[in-house]
Amino acid sequence: MHVIIAGGGRTGRNLVNRFRDRRISVTVIDSDPRKCERISESFPYVDIVLGDAIHPRTLREVIVQKTRAFIAVTGQDHFNLLASALASRLGIERVILKLLDPEYRALAEIMELNDVLDPADSFAAQVVARLDDVDFVQLVHQFHPNLRMKRFSVDGDSGLAGIVPLDLAERVGKKVYPVLLLRDGAYALPSDVDTVKEGDEILAWHRKH
């Protein structure tokens, strides 16, 4: 699986880091030489393109047969919108974009760009969760057939309320690895949450054997 990220800022770097252990190849496009250099130093295995993701030639040159997603996470809403529209027109299967301005979010809906990240949630966590719907889960199963995704609901009888998310394995007595926490319809990374509350749901990898 190959993913293109437009934007080498903090969100882009977080995404590269999330994809590092998932056997997902990544190409980052950014027009700022300093950001490109920073990513190159931190992630030497990542393909980096110094260029403009809203230029058709730039995007065509980085699309490969295994490209499954385009993720626009620059700090400029208008840029993310235009780059995503181009990626969609060029036939990329999944287009995900970050938009902060409600007016741009409304415009994205008109343009049928419906995979817009919620500014109230962790952007990196949302992307990972949404790419699960593409083939991230199948990819993990392919290389680790003994892993399955399991959902833990936190209620008064679960005994999970009040625990630290990363301590889930100790509480349930199983080989589980929490990857996302769902609270009030919003995703967060387990490391970003202090304690689990009633009503939360935890998504975790479960090792069968």
Please state the domain extents for the chain.
2-137, 144-207
Q: At a CB cut-off of 8 Å and minimum separation 6, what does 84 contact?
A: 70, 72, 95, 96, 97, 108, 113
Out of 34-38, 92-96, 123-127, 138-142, least confident range: 138-142
Q: At a CB cut-off of 8 Å and minimum separation 6, what does 157 contact?
A: none
Q: Say which DSSP state 64 is in.
A: -
What is the predicted pLDDT for the residue at 146?
Answer: 62
The per-residue pLDDT for range 67-89, each reduced to its tens digit, is 999 999 999 999 999 999 999 99
What count of residues does the chain have? 209
Q: Is 92 helix (H, G, I), strand (E, B) or coil?
A: coil
Architecture per CATH, 144-207:
2-Layer Sandwich (3.30)
Q: Which residue, 6, 14, 18, is CA-closest to 136?
A: 18
0.85 cut: is pTM over it?
Answer: no
- Please spell the DSSP secondary structure of 112-150, one letter per residue: T---EEPTTS-HHHHHHHHHIIIIIHHHHHHH-TTEEEE
A 10 A CB-CB count for 91 gives 8
Instruction: Check if 2-137 and 144-207 are the same fold.
Output: no
State the fold for domain 2-137: Rossmann fold (3.40.50)
Q: Taking residues 10-36, what's their average pLDDT? A: 89
> Per residue in 25-51, is it b (16+ CB within 10 Å) or e — as a string?
ebbbbbbeeebbebbeeebeebebbeb
